[in-house]
Structure formats: structure tokens, C-alpha cells
Amino acid sequence: MSTLQSIPVVAPPAEEPSGGGNLLANVFDELLAFCRSRSLFMLHYCTGCGAIELPPAMTSRFDMERLGIQPMVTPRQADILLVTGYVSTKTLKRIILTYEQMNSPKYVIGICSCTVNGGMYWQSYATAKKLSDYMPVDMYIAGCMPRPEAVISGLRELMENIRAGRSDNWRDYYQRYDHYLGNQQRLFGEHWQTPTDVIGEARHYGQFGPETLGEHTALLERHQTPLLPFEMRLGLGDVSKGGKS
Amino acid sequence: MKMMELLLELTVMPLLAFTVGLFMVLMMRKIAAKIQRRVGPPLLQPLYDIVKLYAKETQSSHGLLHDIGIVMAVGGYIAAETMLPVPGMNGIADKAGMLTLAYVTMIPSLGLALGVGQCANPNGSIGIARALTAMLAYDVPFVVIIFGASWLYGSNNLVEVIAAQQAGGIASWGVTQMPLLAIAGLFTLYAMLGKQPFEIYVAPAEIATGPMVEMGGKHLGGLFVMQCFQLFTASAIYVSLFLGGGENWLFFIAKLFAVVAIPMSMAFVFPRYRTEDVLAVVWRWPMLLGLIGVWLVMR
């Protein structure tokens, strides 16, 4: 964090997918990539002041819908997770839960300086500094706060990356889950677990990589408690005299 | 040969309905954009959305019923399309009466209720309870309207109703023969489309899109397809009952889009009713108009 290089402003470009000389080899993939880039459902996790720049970007003035970008209200429906501002430790847990519930391909955008390097909360003990330590971030839009023009230009760049197949960071979360989980455990303690079975998903969808498992996932398995449905209860239980437990 | 022709019609009618429905969704979003002084989505935006949703690489299924619910939701409307006569094609419309059609259009809501139940999300359960309440609200005046139209044309068969209207020109259209029922029908259609102020079960800011709350990827894609069918079905029923059906595709599509455009131009300036207010409004005004209309027809 002390050197400029460790601040992840530019993601390394992935190699271009090759068609093997046949023009029609990738037609279907190209169509899907084009549709993905032209239809982005956005879930905004508005943690800080950056959220105030989003309404003008979405409504009459700048109108994101002409680019196919719409706000959505649940993580299941969304493609983009937009984190707009400082990420406190407590918030980060919710962001990770939200991120893991989204269907891939999914993209994370960090807006404002706070998600890039902590911003003005650099000295805060309760703020996560780099969002990309905890989940793969596809695009950072720096600024304090970035204006709607900057937000839209960032989104356009993301669209271009998706269309060219350069924005595949969601695979990284499966393939290097141990790294991300390690950073999460460093912050939340070794008992940290989420309801989503990321390792199982990685296996099921063929995203298993050499770094999916490691010492941190071993720690997770040691502390993991099985997920059980909440017990259904009527009444208020013991706290009220009349209630049935 | 007769059988092959029928099979062809049964395949082509839902496809055509879907295509028309895609453009209706586009029109709906364009109207919303124009009212809010925005540019709005590009021409193929509904198609991009659906292709993108079906191309999701990980899925979030909550079990078998969740999947079957979506199949029922889309399948119910596909069945309804085969009973709706379009120009040149009748499908099985002459074998199925209007009451069958009314029953079949209820299947999607019930299928959705099954699927949403398995998601175990409280927002979804609230949403589907509201959706079924809304269905109860608009189906009662809908049946009254069907009854009035069947009485006037002496048939419960949509093909005969359309033929009777087309034989006499505009003077024998439902809208001139039974204007009160036509107004009640437009009101019911508005409630059926579930747009503001009847948007009780979607309510994004309140219950996070209700039945759709746990739907992602292919499931949400299925619901987007269902919305295309829903817009087509509701407007095609109205056009067949009151606007003389379709003499040819040009007039038919013009009528369909006009019918959807009327509620859509009003919808986006309204907030939302509460659930009990939807029941109160829909059972008061379209019911009253519908009953007076039926009395005028039967007199």
C-alpha cells in the first residue's frame, strides 16, 4: 500500500480470445459478449457520498438507460455491483455476502477514492482500504466524488472490456478464492463464513483453480458450521408470558 | 395435412406473439423515458436483456419447484397464445372458448406462486400474495366483460366474435356496441398489466420486486419472456373483444400497440396503490361500469 504500484488503478489486460483463423468460430460467443455489454443491471451498494452522483446519472440528465444500464434491486438480478464510497469493516461483510449471491458473469465497480485506497478514511481503524483485496474489482472510478460524466465514461469502458472479453474477473474469485478468503479472514477473524459455498460452486461450474484451496480455506473448513434453516416459531418465545415457544 | 398445418400454427403463433411482445416492452420503456424527458433504451434492448440473462454462467436455482414455476409461468402464456386468433391463424381458438382462455391466463400467476414459494424469501411471499390478490381483483370484472361480450354476439367462441365484428365494420365492433363494457375492459386491462398505480406486487422500493426477488439468470430471463407474452395476450384479448380483431397484420398490430399505449401513457405519472385500495378501486369502478354495460346489453 505504501508504493504507487500496489494501488490497483489499472487491471492487467487479459489475452485476446483467438478464433483460430475461422471467422465464424466465435460468432456465438461474440453475440453473447455483445448482449452482456449492452445490458447491464446495476445493484448499487451506496455506502458513502458517491451515491449522490448516481441519481443524475440514471435519470433525465444523463440517462444511463440509453446505454442499456438499469438499476436493479436484488443481487440475484444484478450484473454490476457498484460500491460507491468508503467500506467499513461491517459494511464489507454485507458487500461480500451480496457479491457472492450474484450470478456470474458479474462485475464490481469501485467508485470514489475511498474504494481505491481508503481515501480520506486512510487513518480510520474500521475502514477497509482496498476493495480489490476482498473481491475482484473490474473497474475503479477515482474521484472524490466522480461526476456523473466520469461514472458514465467508466461504465462505457467496462462495456468495452466486456464486449472484448477482457472483463473476466469473476473467475478470479473462484480461482484464487484462498487469497480473497485470507484477506477476509485477516479482517473478520478466523470464524468468518458466508452462506454461499464458493468452493462447491467453483467445482460445479468448472472454475476450480490451483489457488482455490489453500491454508485459508482449510481454516474455513475447520471452523465452518453447517447452514441450517431458521427454526420457524410462532409467538415471541420466552420473552413474553403469553407466547408459545 | 390438416394436422401439419395446425402444428405449424401452434408453433408460429407463440413466436409471433413473443416478437410483438418484445416491441411492446420496448414501447413501454420508451414511453416511460419520454415522459421523464430521457432518450430511453435502444431498439433491441429487450432482446439484449433476455439473451444476457439466458447467457448467465452460474445459476441460482432454489429447487425443482422453482424451475417448474417459471416453466408454468411461460407455458401458461404460450398455451394462451394458441387460443388467441391472429390474422390468418386460428390455432385451437375455435375449440377453446373465452372462459378457457380466462382460466389459462391464470396459470402463470399460479406457477409463479409455486416457484416463489420455494425461494423462501419473505419479500417474494408478500409479493406473490399481492399478485394473487391483484388477480382476484381484475379477474372478476374480466369475467363480467366476457359474459357481456358473449351475450351480445351470442357465442363464447373468439373466432365467431371476431367474425361477427368484422362482418359489420366499425358499427358492429364491441367498442360501439357496448361502450361501457369497453371502458371497463380498458380499466381491467390496465390492472392486468400491473403497471403503476396497480403495481402492488412488483413494488421495487418496498418489497424488492416481490415475486422476482430471488430470480436471477435464466429464471429472470423466463420472467422477461413472460412479460412479453403478457403484454401481447392482454392487448390481443381486448382487441378481439372490442376492436374487431385483426383484418390483417397491419391493422392488428396498430390496434395492439394502441391498446397497450393508453395505460402505459398514464402509468408512469402515478405512484402506487395499497393492496386493499386496488381491490376497492377495481371492484368499484370497472365492476359498476361492467354490470351496467351487461344490463344494457341484455335489455
What is the tens place of the pLDDT at every residue in B97-106? Answer: 888 888 888 8
What is d(CA A157, CA A4) in angstroms, rounded to the nearest whole number? 23
pLDDT the model gives residue B18: 92
- B220 to A77: CB separation less than 8 angstroms, yes or no: yes
CA distance B53 to chain A (A): 8
- A77 to B215: CB separation less than 8 angstroms, yes or no: yes
Containing B260, the helix (H) or strand (E) segment is helix B249-267
What is d(CA B92, CA B97) in angstroms, rounded to the nearest whole number? 10
Asked if pLDDT for residue B114 goes beyond 90, the answer is no
Q: What number is the average pLDDT over the span B25-30?
A: 92
More confident residue, B295 or A222: B295
Peptide bond into B46 cis (omega under 30): no
pLDDT the model gives residue A20: 58
- Lowest mean pLDDT segment, chosen from A130-139, B131-140, B166-175: B166-175
Residue of A34, A67, A74 to mutate, interface with B, max B Cβ within 10 Å: A74
Task: Name A102's Cβ contacts closer than 8 Å, sequence gap at least 6.
Answer: A43, A75, A76, A78, A79, A81, B216
| Closest partner CB to B58 (pick from A68, A73, A103) | A103
pLDDT the model gives residue B100: 87
What is d(CA B184, CA B290) in angstroms, rounded to the nearest whole number? 6
Domains of chain A: 27-168 (3.40.50.12280), 176-191+199-225 (no CATH)
Confidence band, pLDDT 50/70/90 cuts, at residue B115: confident
Q: In whole numbers, what is the pLDDT of chain B averaged over residues?
A: 87
State which residues of chain A have pLDDT below 70: 1-25, 230, 232, 235-245
Asked if pLDDT for residue B46 goes beyond 70, the answer is yes
Identify whether the C-beta of residue A87 lies closer than 8 Å to the C-beta of residue A108. Answer: no
pLDDT the model gives residue B47: 92
| Closest partner CB to A35 (pick from B42, B51, B60) | B51
- B214 to A63: CB separation less than 8 angstroms, yes or no: no
- The residue behind cell 395492439 is B256
> Cell digits for B79?
398455451
Containing A40, the helix (H) or strand (E) segment is strand A40-45
What is d(CA A227, CA A229) in angstroms, rounded to the nearest whole number? 7
Asked if pLDDT for residue B216 goes beyond 70, the answer is yes
pLDDT the model gives residue A11: 55
Task: Tell me the one-letter amino acid at B61.
Answer: S
Task: Tell me the one-letter amino acid at B73.
Answer: A
What is d(CA A87, CA A90) in angstroms, rounded to the nearest whole number? 8
* Beta-bridge partner residues of A180: none
pLDDT the model gives residue A1: 45
Q: Chain A contact for B81, CB < 8 A?
A: no
pLDDT the model gives residue A107: 92
Confidence band, pLDDT 50/70/90 cuts, at residue B214: confident
Q: Classify the C-alpha dihedral B78-B80-B85-B87 as positive or negative.
A: negative
DSSP for B177-210, please give it: H-HHHHHHHHHHHHHHHT-TTS-TTT-HHHHTTG
> Cell digits for A13?
489486460
Q: Chain A contact for B87, CB < 8 A?
A: no
